[in-house]
Amino acid sequence: MDSPIFDTLKQLPLFQGMANDDFNTLLQKIRLDFVKYPAGSFICRTGDRCSHFTFLIGGAVESSRRGNADRFVFHERISSPHLIEPYSMFGATGSYRRDYEAVDTCSVLNVDKQYVYTEIGKYNICRMNLLNIISGRVQQADRHTWDIDEFNLRHRIARFIYGLSDIPYGEKRLSITMNDLAALMDTTRLNVSRELNALSADGLIALRRKEILIPALEKITT
């Protein structure tokens, strides 16, 4: 197979580094379910069962997740190619933790999870890629817990946003009131307001009513 879709599939994290002959053989043995989602439609929702691997191969989605008691909502823009929540495929719950809404027309490839056991798992490179993906998620959480260099308010706000993120870079949006953010940061509303306005003056965030837009997370966390 030699086509743009073949090249796109080879970029997906689960198949990176796989030999072309092996990849061609694999594609002949598994069922590929291609789906188009128009802008504004949901690809998957919180609580949906993870019965298949969901590969975003075209377009962009916005993921969102609500905090406890709905005190805040965190939004994250994700561009293709991307494997949606592979860490949620296994374990006790086996369900998605976020909503995924199409930003524009999205192309999605679904592969039933059974093929991980019957076909994909036969290839060492695929097994290692999946382990690396899941291990990377665990290591990201571990770094977030232990990499504490400063305790100033800006650092605490940045760490909070980083900890909510599935991808440690790119555009994020946090819907929250100043009072709730102040409570989470264990400080006053005035201190939070001053720090957010300072971040805005530095061009690192944009402030809207009850919302913080972070154009590039990697800039605020460096």
In the chain, list all ranges with CATH 2.60.120.10: 4-59+80-144
CATH of 4-59+80-144, one of 2.40.30.10, 2.60.120.10, 3.30.1490.100, 3.40.50.1370: 2.60.120.10
Averaged pLDDT, 109-133: 89
Averaged pLDDT, 211-215: 97
Residues 111-116: contacts with CB within 8 Å, 24+ apart?
A: 111/30, 111/31, 111/32, 111/33, 111/52, 111/53, 111/55, 112/30, 112/31, 112/33, 112/51, 112/52, 113/50, 113/51, 113/52, 113/53, 113/89, 115/29, 115/30, 115/31, 116/53, 116/89
In the chain, list all ranges with CATH 1.10.10.10: 148-220
User: pLDDT grade, residue 2 (50/70/90)?
Assistant: very low
Averaged pLDDT, 158-174: 92
Picking from 34-43, 88-97, 119-128, which range would have the lowest pLDDT averaged per residue? 88-97
Averaged pLDDT, 6-27: 85
Burial class (CB in 10 A: 0-12, 13-18, 19+), 68: exposed
CATH architecture for residues 148-220: Orthogonal Bundle (1.10)
Q: Which residues of 190-220 are buried (b: 16+ CB within 10 A; e: fewer)?
A: eebeebbeebeeeebbeeeeeebebeebeeb
